[in-house]
Structure 1
Amino acid sequence: MAWNVFIDGEAGTTGLQIRERLEARADIALIQLADDARKDTAARLEAFAAADVAILCLPDAAVLDIVPRLAGTDTRLIDASTAHRVAPDWVFGFPELTAGARAAVAGAERVSNPGCYASGAIALLHPLVSRGLVAADAPLSINAVSGYTGGGKAMVSEFEAPSHPHSFAYAMGQRHKHIPEIMQYGGLTRRPIFAPSVGDFAQGMVVQVPLHLGNGLTIARLTAAYAEHYDGARFVRVLPASAYEGRIDAERTTGTNRMEISVHGDDETGCAVLVAVLDNLGKGASGAAVQNLNLMLGIDEGTGLTA
């Protein structure tokens, strides 16, 4: 039996990579529209009606327009936009978040796919805040660099032009769209300072959270907390700082659904940096959507994905 899946917005960067991960699978039948029908609401609604699961790879406004039209249908949804990431009636699609998160995704009618920066930040923060190792109101900063595909088609065109930027920081006004989900699922009550940037590479990401040690908090204790939290996780690995030999390559996990967590620093200086490495279009977007889709269909979560 093949499951019918419709990707609404499959021509975008996230949608294209979801399609690439699904189109060769015998257990998935993709419902696709002709180019001239992709913005035809009636044609899209017919595709939704025929799908077991639909994946929304659309701008927030388009998602908020189409979702109410699907009320009363049996089609299950995965939303890759930011529109529903903190909505109480949508399940947050990070299966490694808690002990019950995987089952919650599997049984959900509506799943909100996490953002790329948020996936790394939440993966770093939630295990520590939930264990009381980091206070929910701690004054934290989050620094990150992403490949340019995270900015969609416009940024891809900008970076692939002959004359293009090599890197830039942005969202300095502290209104980045990922902050609400980072706070909610990271367990924070105090807004963190978030400093994202874009580098001259297509895919990959490093997320860093600097942290002061002391009061019993050590590199070893932080690493042990991550190892306990992610024990048995298929796609999240906890590595020692020595695995990176002093340099962390943002493209290290590109092409996979793997996220790597590590703790760097020095107990004597009392300074540490928490680090997550992931593919911004893998575990940060398209790969995460496929992992959630697999869980919703009741099949092995790693089907069609590379760890």
Structure 2
Amino acid sequence: MKKKIFVDGLSGTTGLGINERLSKYDNIELIKIDYDKRRDINERKKCLNEADLVFLCLPDEAAREAVSLVTNPSTKIIDASTAHRTISGWTYGLPELSPSHKEEIKNSKRVSNPGCHATAFVLSLYPLIKNNIMPADYPVSCQSITGYSGGGKNLIEKYEDKNKDNPYTKAPRPYSLGLNHKHLKEMMVHTGLVNSPIFLPIVANYYKGLATIIPIHTSLLNKKLKGKELYNVLAHHYKNQKFVKVMPYIDEESLGDYKYIFDGGLDITACNDTNLAEIFVIGNDEKNISMIITRLDNLGKGASGAAIQNMNLMLGYEEDLNL
């Protein structure tokens, strides 16, 4: 029997991405709502409760409202908003963190889809804090650069405005300068950090692709590991994962011959149109510093791809089906 799926909030970038990916399935039935009834609460409630699984691609308050409308105890929900990522009773949808994370997703009826920046950040640091290599009070700083699609339809329109004096296209733009980005709580809760990281996201004039950049003073770690040893921790932790890859170690000696380096730098769009997250560890042991760079498609593993991966697990499909 086909599973019934409803996407609430189909017009945004994440909703559209999920809908496109769902078109590859022949074992599901999409519940559709008339465009002029998409804000009709009774019509939405009907669709929500008919579904075996619902994707919520809505602003936070609207997502909370949608959850309150679900009275069918069998309906499973994947919420792509920020609303439930740190709420008790909801499972965090990043299965690569541990076998228990994956099992919880498989058995959950309420899964919160991670944020794009948070996905890369949490993947980078979770193994280090979990293994007591990085102290929970380590003074973490992180820059994250992303394409403008991460800002949704409104920001896309601003960047794609063809006005020659368009200020959005002149240079990369640091934002969230109040140091209170909406992903921060999620980053702390799901890594185990006790202090807020200094997090500076930057949006640039390209459509999609994201990378978090986290510098590490290895002398401040609980275990004074060299760069290659840090790499080994991450490589071991993610060794059996289909969608998280720890790339070969980089140091000053290997930099010139490293095939993933593009003209002296790293291409942060290389995971676009995939559900991959790729982690790079770069070390300079002479200076006791290392760096972790994690890249992904902010619309893929950072949004709709992750949602489909979670759906596959929740419905008992192969995790990588149609991904």
Which TM-score tier does this pair reach, normalised by the shorter chain? over 0.9
The separation in 1 between residues aligned to 2:284 and 2:11, in whole angstroms, is 46
The separation in 2 between residues aligned to 1:285 and 1:94, in whole angstroms, is 11
**Conservation of the 8 A alpha-carbon contact between 2:214 and 2:291:** yes
Residue 141 (structure 1) shift: 0.3
Measured against aligned partners, the alpha-carbon deviations of 1:47-97 in whole angstroms (never above 9, x if no partner) come to 112110000000001011221121453211000000000001000000011
Q: How does 1:87-102 map to 2 (within 5 A)?
A: 87-102=87-102
The separation in 2 between residues aligned to 1:71 and 1:129, in whole angstroms, is 39
The separation in 2 between residues aligned to 1:201 and 1:212, in whole angstroms, is 31
Gaps of 5+ in 1: none
Counterpart of 2:240 in structure 1 is 232
**Conservation of the 8 A alpha-carbon contact between 2:235 and 2:246:** yes
Q: Helix, strand or coil for the counterpart of 1:139?
A: coil
The separation in 2 between residues aligned to 1:128 and 1:207, in whole angstroms, is 16
Counterpart of 2:212 in structure 1 is 207
The separation in 1 between residues aligned to 2:155 and 2:86, in whole angstroms, is 26
TM-score w.r.t. the length of structure 2 is: 0.92
Q: Which stretch of the first structure deviates more once superposed, 28-37 or 2-11? A: 28-37
Measured against aligned partners, the alpha-carbon deviations of 1:172-208 in whole angstroms (never above 9, x if no partner) come to 1111110001000011011110000101111110101
Gaps of 5+ in 2: 251-257
Larger radius of gyration: 2
Residue 99 (structure 1) shift: 2.0
Counterpart of 1:120 in structure 2 is 120
Aligned: 1:283 with 2:307: no
The separation in 2 between residues aligned to 1:202 and 1:101, in whole angstroms, is 31
Q: Which stretch of the first structure deviates more once superposed, 283-292 or 40-49? A: 40-49
The separation in 2 between residues aligned to 1:71 and 1:171, in whole angstroms, is 37
The separation in 2 between residues aligned to 1:191 and 1:216, in whole angstroms, is 23
Counterpart of 1:4 in structure 2 is 4
TM-score w.r.t. the length of structure 1 is: 0.97
**Conservation of the 8 A alpha-carbon contact between 2:238 and 2:245:** yes
Within the candidate set 173, 190, 197, 1:185 is matched to: 190
The separation in 2 between residues aligned to 1:293 and 1:106, in whole angstroms, is 9
RMSD (Å) for aligned C-alpha atoms: 1.1
The separation in 2 between residues aligned to 1:28 and 1:275, in whole angstroms, is 37
The separation in 2 between residues aligned to 1:117 and 1:63, in whole angstroms, is 20
**Conservation of the 8 A alpha-carbon contact between 1:213 and 1:271:** yes
**Conservation of the 8 A alpha-carbon contact between 1:125 and 1:187:** no
Counterpart of 1:172 in structure 2 is 177
Residue 107 (structure 1) shift: 0.5
Aligned: 1:37 with 2:37: yes
Residue 243 (structure 1) shift: 4.3
Q: Which stretch of the first structure deviates more once superposed, 242-251 or 151-160? A: 242-251
Counterpart of 1:56 in structure 2 is 56
The separation in 2 between residues aligned to 1:101 and 1:64, in whole angstroms, is 23
The separation in 1 between residues aligned to 2:312 and 2:242, in whole angstroms, is 13
The separation in 2 between residues aligned to 1:244 and 1:196, in whole angstroms, is 24
Counterpart of 2:27 in structure 1 is 27
Residue 153 (structure 1) shift: 0.6
**Conservation of the 8 A alpha-carbon contact between 1:9 and 1:57:** yes
Q: Which stretch of the first structure deviates more once superposed, 65-74 or 172-181? A: 65-74
**Conservation of the 8 A alpha-carbon contact between 2:208 and 2:297:** yes
Measured against aligned partners, the alpha-carbon deviations of 1:92-113 in whole angstroms (never above 9, x if no partner) come to 0000112211111010010000
Q: Helix, strand or coil for the counterpart of 2:292?
A: strand
Matched letter for residue 217 of structure 1: L
